[in-house]
Chain A
Amino acid sequence: MKHDPEQIGEQLTAYLDGELDEPQRREMEKLIARRPEVRRRLEEMRRVSHLVSSLPRHDAPPSIAEDVQRHLERSALVDDWDGGRDEAPPVRLGWGRGLAVAAVVTLVAGVGWFLTREGQPGFTESLTFREKETVSPPPPAKRVPPPPSALQGLVASATLEQKLEAGLGPQVVKEHRFDNEPVRLEVHARSRSARDEIASRLVAYLAEASLTDAGTLETAASKSAPRRVEAFFYRGRSGVNFRAHNEQQILVRAPKKTLKTMLDQLADLASGGERIALQAGPARMRGAANVRAALSGLEGTVARGESETETLPEREDERLALRTDPFGELLRFIRMGSVPAEKETGENLSQAPKAKPGPTPAEPPEEAVANAPMTASTPSPGSVASADRSSGANRGTTLEGKETRDRSPRKARSARKRSRRAKKKKTTSEPSSLVERRLREIRRRRRAQPSPASPARAKGMPIKTPPDAQARGDASGDEYVTLVIAVRVDEPNVRQRGARPFSPQKKPKKSQARKFPSSS
């Protein structure tokens, strides 16, 4: 054996841990017997090893597994709605969920049928209260397609549990996305307790402002509240959409004015050291003032009465140039991401009927939609919902290929062609099962998915200020912004703000000392 102290030490370590083979071990034992300093060293290391191994241990917080599972389930739901991610394993719906889906579909179809039979105007609004009544199946001869609003209201009246079970729960599909990331209003809290407090205060504010949430969905659906915020619950978590491992997320859809007020509230909370940032894709603005500026710009657009002016450049290089200015881009995006209520009904959010901001948003189960007969002239809620799901932004065509108003003639022609082709295809090869239908839809959605560099909005689609909002003289009108408020804990950064501690253990390295000799 070599007698280099370093090597002896390493061998001694291996000997202590029982990692030497037999000859090496014998040799080491001889050395230990011969040299007292080696024996001393061995004792020292054994003591250290024992001390470390006897350090107290903690059980992991039991919530870890639960949080991980919940996170994965939610991701699976989101992915499912977004068309799925290839790398994530598919989530299997259990018998319970399957039955629940079937129950909701049956309920929707049955009540829809009933509605059609009744054919009474305004019946949808009182649907909530009739839900538990016995519904007799209508005669097939009288079956006519229900109006879309009826179906929407019907789904809106489904309980949260039913929606969750049917996969309609956390309606994250309505998030505005940019580069496949939702627009997030981030609040960085200094600790977990601060995070929880902020989140609960925020939710309390939302509730106090008489803004609807999933828990009061049915009640709110019957009122036509001009201001709406939806806090989507996940598995009944109070007021919070989802408790991620490091943040609480609240999905909010609110008029800009409300968001500004909410931001003021957040700024108050932020005085305790919390920070605020607005993020859309790669662009991020930090600080309450900046975020407020973004929202002011947003409001300014509407206040000036601009309409049909917000178009992104057609040319790719111009769009690229725009991307180099994240702040401007973010502003622009948020401006464009705010969806007029009028448009929502037809294209994006599939929310309320046009005439009034009625029932709270919800999407009809596609199975029910697929079962419902459709006419060419009636915009189908299924197409609306699917188009929304596919991009989270305004899309030029619905899945059935219906063109939207604001297209150029050339694009409109091609859209009509596609529409005709789709209709032909639909008549020739009608999918035989729900699964097939679903798969086809996902495939179609994937094909239609805009690339991050050229979002659907970059096609020069003008954004209109709703005329009814202008007529009412309401500056914020029905311009809604959907975003995720994420209350996060960001401890390292908070620590960074503290004074640099005096650390006697950390002496400057010799090499550094040589490199930067003192002036004396």
Chain B
Amino acid sequence: MEAAAGGQVETSDHPTPDSEGTRAVIRRPKMTGRVEADESPRPPPVEDVELIEKVRRGDIEAYGELVRRYQDRVFNACWRICGHLEDARDLTQDAFLRAFERLADFRGESRFYTWVFRIAVNLALSHRRQAQRRPWVSLDGANPDGSQARSLARRSADGSTDDPRDRVEEAELQGRVAHALLTLDPDHRAVIVLRDIEGMDYRTIAAVLDIPPGTVKSRLFRARSALADAVGKGEDRVARDRGNEGT
């Protein structure tokens, strides 16, 4: 279930039931690292453990390799938890620096990336809590980092859907989901980000957040319910607005 090294895309075989209750397997990309073509044979990636050993011997280049390996995942998780790209960048960097400082404490009982995620998520959560005490508003409205606009532009460029109206609607929906995600309680948001964005299993989430697996389950349920309500309300509002425009 855990990601392979080297920035490859790993697929997870989640036995996921479909609407009729039968089991289907969704092959979901779990990692957003640089995807390289598999045309030429590559040397097998060096294991994290080996790199960590090198770092412990004083090889900073090896740590750079570890950072490059997981920075995308950590960055995306931080971004979705704190809701701001610039902050996510700083948090990611902080997380890796702190991980380096505490490398002596890393005993290899969990995977390195789980351990870094724990540091990063804790940082992002505390950052988010601080930000909640000091609320701010973005001039861009619900989409402070402009991801919606960028996403729309990108999708328009690749022409993944034919109908421009569909593309706009899809982008709007994503914007609503991203916004709804930000309205969740930080603990709930962290759980849903780790599960649905990072594709971690419950045991890994429990290890990252240092909570029992049962709590992961209940938080995830509440988070999804709240998110479904928020998205549903947003859709109702949009439908109402369109109805008003029609009349």
Contacts and interface: CB of A to CB of B under 8 A. Distances in A.
Interface of A: 6, 9-10, 12-19, 25, 29, 32-33, 39, 42-49, 51-61, 64-69, 71-73, 76, 87-92, 192, 245-246, 489, 491-493, 495-496, 498-501, 503, 505
A69 B93 contact: no
Contact of A58 (B58, B85, B183): B85
A24 to B, nearest CB: 12
Contacts of A69: 60-61, 63-64, 67
Contacts of A92: 57-59
Contacts of A72: 60, 63, 97, 100
Given A32-B21, A53-B197, A65-B64, A19 B228 contact: no
B197 A90 contact: no
Nearest to B176: A51
B27 interface: no
Interface string B45-84: 0000000000111111101100110011011100110000
B177 A55 contact: yes
Task: Give the interface size class of chain B.
Answer: 35 or more
Contacts of B110: none
A53 B135 contact: no
A21 to B, nearest CB: 11
Given A13-B217, A72-B97, A18 B14 contact: yes
B60 A91 contact: yes
Interface string B199-228: 101100000000000000110110011011
Nearest to B100: A72
Among A45, A56, A493: residue with most chain B CB under 10 A: A56
* Chain B interface main SS type: helix
B214 to A, nearest CB: 8
A500 B135 contact: yes
A53 B174 CA distance: 10
B192 interface: yes
A13 B220 contact: yes
A55 B147 CA distance: 10
A501 B137 contact: yes
B123 interface: no
Contact of A17 (B68, B195, B231): B195
B236 interface: no
Interface string B88-115: 0110111011001101100000000000
Given A60-B75, A89-B103, A52 B96 contact: no
Given A18-B15, A65-B67, A59 B217 contact: no
28 contacts: A33-B21, A44-B228, A45-B225, A49-B196, A49-B224, A51-B173, A52-B177, A53-B196, A55-B177, A58-B76, A58-B85, A60-B75, A66-B64, A68-B63, A68-B67, A68-B96, A69-B60, A72-B63, A73-B60, A89-B56, A89-B57, A489-B86, A495-B134, A495-B136, A496-B134, A498-B137, A499-B137, A503-B135
